């Protein structure tokens, strides 16, 4: 596909619908050039106000600068003839971490107690998540919604951080953000108190995530 500016885009074959949200749909597709599977987040920006359009475009720009094996790879972004914005990313073929935790929590040992993940497995996953967060912070990007639902898995054992929809780019490592965003289980105390927060807030969420992986449940009720 070639746009009016002469830029060539990949063409895709739709395989299935992965999910729907308030503004759009996520599709599993196959890239026609390399036959690799990918995910297209198709967003109806026509239904958004100006602020929401800016936030959506911001996610695409953030993904463009993140290049790391433990972060979902951005392929391209384009608009359809009907004006819908499409963000194309690599597909993770083994679901998300939240699903794995829920499935494991249902697994019981012979004594009826929960069958926890092995220590090696917990450390392997957590190390990969930490590497993704380090790369994100090195780029001065605050994720702001780190949770098991946003950690994606591949069948090769690779863990990938995704969903940068509410990420924030800070000017430097001492900068602070103030908007209260994120998922209640994982919010740091300074966010709950509506104080300025920084990269340390992602580290708090990282600790909550480690507890959840090890204990098969969040440390707090929300």
Assess whether 145 carries a catalytic annotation: yes
Check: CB of residue 25 under 8 Å from CB of residue 39.
no
State how far the alpha carbon of 44 is from the alpha carbons of 23, 53, 91, in Å: 6, 9, 21
Secondary structure in 3-state letters for 121-158: HHHHHHHHHHHHHHHHHHCCEECCCCCHHHEEECCCCC
Instruction: List all residues 6 or more positions away from 17 whose beta carbon is below 8 Å from its beta carbon.
Output: 25, 26, 27, 28
- Rounded CA separation 36/38 (Å): 7
Q: Which of 93, 120, 138, 145 is catalytic?
A: 145
- Number of other CB atoms surrounding residue 215 within 10 Å: 14
Ramachandran region, residue 174 (left: φ > 0; alpha: ψ -120 to 50; beta: rest)? alpha
- Rounded CA separation 20/211 (Å): 30
What token pair was written down for 58? 């911001």
- Pairing state between β 37-43 and 24-31: antiparallel
- Rounded CA separation 146/170 (Å): 17
Residues annotated catalytic, as ranges: 145
């Amino acid at each position: 596909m070639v746009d009016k500016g002469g830029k060539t885009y990949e063409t895709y074959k739709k395989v299935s619908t992965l999910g729907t949200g308030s503004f759009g749909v996520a599709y599993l597709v196959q890239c026609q050039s390399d036959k690799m599977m990918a995910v297209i987040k198709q967003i109806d920006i026509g239904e958004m106000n100006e602020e929401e359009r800016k936030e959506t475009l911001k996610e695409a720009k953030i993904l463009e600068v993140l290049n790391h094996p433990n972060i979902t790879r951005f392929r391209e972004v384009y608009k359809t003839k009907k004006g819908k914005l499409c963000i194309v990313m690599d597909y993770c073929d083994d679901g998300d971490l939240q699903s794995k935790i829920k499935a494991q929590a249902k697994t019981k040992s012979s004594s009826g107690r929960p069958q926890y993940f092995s220590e090696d497995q917990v450390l392997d996953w957590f190390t990969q998540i930490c590497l993704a967060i380090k790369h994100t912070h090195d780029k001065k990007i605050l994720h702001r919604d780190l949770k098991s639902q946003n950690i994606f898995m591949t069948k090769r054992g690779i863990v990938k951080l995704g969903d940068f929809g509410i990420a924030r780019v800070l000017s430097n490592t001492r900068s602070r953000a103030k908007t209260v965003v994120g998922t209640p289980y994982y919010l740091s105390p300074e966010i709950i108190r509506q104080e300025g927060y920084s990269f340390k807030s992602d580290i708090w969420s990282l600790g909550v995530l480690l507890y959840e992986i090890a204990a098969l449940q969040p440390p707090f009720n929300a």
